[in-house]
Amino acid sequence: MGIKQVADYAGVSIATVSRVLNKSANVSEVKRKKVLDAVKTLGYRPNDLARGLRNMPTSTIGVIIPDITNPFFPSVIRGAGDILHEADITPMIYNSDGNIDIEIEQIKTLISKRVDGLLFMHSEESKRVIDLIESANMPVVFLDRVEDGRFASVKSDNYGGMKIIMDYAYSLGHRDYWYIGGESKVSSARERLQAVFDFERDHSDISIKYASTTFSYEGGLWAFELLKKKFSIPTIIICGNDLIAFGAIDACLKNKLRVPYDISVTGFDDGFLAAHYNPPLTTVAQSPYDLGATGAKLLLEFISGKRKRAVTRVLPIRLIIRQSTTQL
């Protein structure tokens, strides 16, 4: 005996039977009476086990990152993983490869697996994704890239970090800049770019030329050649992340420019390679491990019901001075 037999007997839809059994308000009295009579006549007992299972936690959470080849993101997972392991929760990790359609399919899969929550580093802001997440009524914490104030998020002080490195470059005597930033479809790239815009507004004695690319080594190579075609070579290249900086450094070398003697280069992240590149990279250190750990702790508070309201945590950054920059 199932809910479909009750619906057929009462001459109503399965959804109506479900609403009556869940004591929902929006059912007419006539239909409610038909359903209750059918339940009584057929001796139907709702499958409490199935209902119970549907609402039981699974002790799993989803983690979606946009680019598993970028060492920043596995470090985020490492931080989250340590917290989740302590809580006996299994992370289900997906790489969207920066593809929004893949991201949506992965979220649908996680919803079907009834994960208890989602740690989300999106590849771009998307109403389609937000609608899907809201329809699932699932706890979500955005990491590194913020969607909007409705959702809890953890990020680094992107604006402050880029301001510090611009101030440092200026203190070295640089007045002629290129800025090669990440694509503005993510908030971390936009916040860093805004710091450069504001710096340019506040310093009338400098020149800055801009390019936007992917947060990647290839992006740095490509953007250097693009700017070289249009503008004279500057004294410093400020990059939106370390991978772009590594590409820019190698583009300089291909163009017979010695770093830092002919041109300085800076990055943002301070991943493992930054200290070991040739030359070691001046950059802004953020802590992806802490970002992941803080996000996981927040998500567990939402899942347990201890926290209800969205909050944004901003983690500090540090300027790391190495040999890829020099005094003019």
Residues that bind ligand RIB (CB under 6 A): 70, 72, 144-145, 186, 188, 215, 241, 243, 268-269
Cα dihedral: 52, 53, 55, 59 (round 10): 140
DSSP 5-18: HHHHHHTS-HHHHH
| Smallest gap from residue 285 Cβ to ligand RIB (A) | 11
| Smallest gap from residue 155 Cβ to ligand RIB (A) | 8
Tokens 């969205």 locate to: 310
Of the pair 147, 269, the CB lying nearest ligand RIB is at 269
| Smallest gap from residue 48 Cβ to ligand RIB (A) | 46
Q: How far is 34 from 11, CA to CA, in rounded Å?
A: 8
| Smallest gap from residue 130 Cβ to ligand RIB (A) | 19
Of the pair 124, 301, the CB lying nearest ligand RIB is at 124
Of the pair 19, 145, the CB lying nearest ligand RIB is at 145
Of the pair 190, 297, the CB lying nearest ligand RIB is at 190
Q: Token pair of 304, please? A: 């347990």
**What's the maximum distance between 2 C-alpha atoms anywhere in the chain?**
91
Of the pair 75, 235, the CB lying nearest ligand RIB is at 75
Q: Token pair of 316, please? A: 């500090």
| Smallest gap from residue 221 Cβ to ligand RIB (A) | 16
- Exposure of 321 by Cβ count < 10 A (0-12 exposed, 13-18 middle, 19+ buried)? middle
Residue in the shown chain whose Cβ atom is closest to ligand RIB = 188
CA atoms lying within 13 Å on the CB side of residue 143: 31
| Smallest gap from residue 293 Cβ to ligand RIB (A) | 16
Q: How many CB atoms lie within 10 A of CB 112?
A: 9
Of the pair 178, 215, the CB lying nearest ligand RIB is at 215
| Smallest gap from residue 73 Cβ to ligand RIB (A) | 7
Q: How many CB atoms lie within 10 A of CB 1?
A: 11
Query: Before 139, cis peptide (omega within 30)?
Result: no
Of the pair 236, 243, the CB lying nearest ligand RIB is at 243
Q: How far is 293 from 241, CA to CA, in rounded Å?
A: 21
